[in-house]
Structure 1
Amino acid sequence: MFKLLLIEDDQSLFTEIRERLNQWSYHVYGVDHFDQVMSTFTNVKPDLVIIDIQLPKYDGFHWCRMIREHSNVPIIFLSSRDHPTDMVMSMQLGADDFIQKPFHFEVLIAKIQAILRRVYHYTSDQAVLKTWCNATIDMERSTITNEHGTVDLSKNELFILKQLIEHKNKIVSREQLISSLWEDERFISDNTLTVNVNRLRKRLDSIGLGDAIETKVGQGYIAKDEIQ
């Protein structure tokens, strides 16, 4: 869940925006003391900041400048001021976008989504690729690839493999696997786990990795870091 810091002194507007953004699974934080914006920013560590220009104590330009001295977090100005110099100033200070009040919420959410995709896209791409036993696991495409070829995995098989390689060279009990699958709402039984592990082994065997998952009788399974 992305964390958004909304620096807005109009409490009714703040509440409305927060409630709407919460519906999109964003966690929205506000500012209690407008002379301590940087303290809130440091404590929250937001993924994106939405800030008004006209604020108590210091204006939004001041806080944008302060934030930019410490962070490259995306910033959107949300203001009723419509003079071109305000938009130019916000961009010169390092803001990513400027939305004029009144605004359509759909426009705000679209801009938030676009900025978050752009800024955090690289990290997301990195997270879907895992390396294990000289093979690459693509979590998004549900495949595992090495020099012998590419194998498609079912969602359950992929999930089981992911759990095992996250604890590679350590025993993962059947109970742990079943519990993790249930928490992920996959509703798997003990017998179903056995079937899925056997299928996973057969798929891995087709690219020479069949021995990379070892059964520890009465204990569970181990994903070995390398094959002898």
Structure 2
Amino acid sequence: MFKLLLIEDDVTLFEEIKERLTQWSYDVYGVTDFANVLADFANIQPDLVIIDIQLPKYDGFHWCRMIRSQSSVPILFLSSRDHPTDMVMSMQLGGDDFIQKPFHFDVLIAKIQATLRRVYDYSSEPSKLRAWCGSTINDDNNTVSNQKASIELTKNEMYILKILIQHKNKIVSRQELIEYLWNDEHFVSDNTLTVNVNRLRRKLDDLELGRYIETKVGQGYMAVEEESACD
């Protein structure tokens, strides 16, 4: 049974979501102290976090930063705020998806299932080490390392990188990436993919590898691996 941490201060909505998710065999936990969400996170060790933006004490963006500083657990934002900058901010801070209130419960379930399937189906495979442009990609701890440094990726970022490397030197279309990642393009925006790829590229810049993820305008993305390109 997957453990979900639902960070939502609206008690009525929390109880409704918990009841519905429990019917789907999820183990749902809430927050006991909105001034110290990390304590609940550490105690529960959830498989997925669902977080509102507008919360007492500190907002959801703050807690997303704090969680991301110590964990790559998938995070879904659930908020009534509908400004594009809120959606972009949630992705840039490490969120995996954004669900706007009011929402249809079937959409919430679909996003939860897709995220858990994406994160834990492939992570349950035997860990593998992959080489790319003089770096080592480690599935076991979601890291990329070379002589310059080591970086940690989120599950989404690692999955994007793995897909591109599996098709290295070939263009992977945006539509293909969306289908690989979310398994149902109806539940993801094109902008979400852009934010995830840009965030991955910025992290790879620390290893001087960001330039080897090329954007092919109007087509998609390509991971380059040639001796001349990776020197």
- TM-score, normalised on structure 2? 0.54
Q: C-alpha separation between the residues in 2 aligned to 1:125 and 1:27?
A: 24
Which residue does 1:67 correspond to in 2? 67
Q: Which runs of 4+ in 1 moved over 3 A?
A: 123-126
CA distance in 2, matches of 1:62, 1:123: 27
Cα distance between partner residues in 2 of 1:25 and 1:33: 25
Rg: which structure is higher? 1
Q: Pairwise CA RMSD of aligned residues?
A: 1.3
Q: Which residue of 1 aligns with 2:110?
A: 110
Uncovered stretches (5+) of structure 1, i.e. residues with no partner: 127-228
The equivalent of 1:43 in structure 2 is 43
DSSP 3-state at the match of 1:50: strand
User: Which amino acid in structure 1 is aligned with residue 121 of structure 2?
Assistant: H
Higher relative contact order (CA 8 A, sep 6+): 2
Q: Residues of 2 paired with 1:66 and 1:18: CA distance? A: 24
Shift of 1:122: 2.0
The answer for unaligned runs of 5 or more in structure 2 is 127-231
Deviation at 1:124, TM superposition (A): 3.8
CA distance in 2, matches of 1:122, 1:111: 17
> What's the secondary structure of 1:15's corresponding residue?
helix
Asked if 1:82 corresponds to 2:95, the answer is: no
Distance in 1 between the 2:19 and 2:87 partners?
Answer: 27
3-state secondary structure, aligned to 1:33: coil
2: CA distance, partners of 1:41 / 1:123: 21
1:34 corresponds to: 34
Partner of 1:115: helix, strand, or coil?
helix
Quote the offset at 1:103 in angstroms: 0.2
% identical aligned pairs: 79
Residues 30-84 of structure 1: CA deviation (Å, up to 9, x unaligned): 0011001000000000000000000000000000000000000000000000000
Deviations 1:2-44 (A, max 9, x none): 0000000000000000000000000000001100100000000
Match of 1:223 in 2: none
SS of structure 2 residue aligned to 1:54: coil
Residue 119 of structure 1 corresponds to 119
Report SS of the residue matched to 2:66: helix
- Aligned-pair distance for 1:125? 4.4
Q: How does 1:1-228 map to 2 (within 5 A)?
A: 1-126=1-126
Q: Secondary structure at the match of 2:14?
A: helix
2 CA distance for matches of 1:15 and 1:125?
35
Question: Distance in 1 between the 2:41 and 2:70 partners?
Answer: 10
Measured in 1, the distance between the counterparts of 2:121 and 2:85 equals 31
> Structure 2 CA distance, aligned partners of 1:125 and 1:22?
27
2:6 is paired with a residue of what secondary structure? strand
One-letter amino acid of the structure 2 residue matched with residue 120 of structure 1: Y
Mapped partners of 1:103, 1:6: distance in 2: 15
Whole-Å Cα distance in 2 between the matches of residues 44 and 24 of structure 1? 19
TM-score by length of 1: 0.55
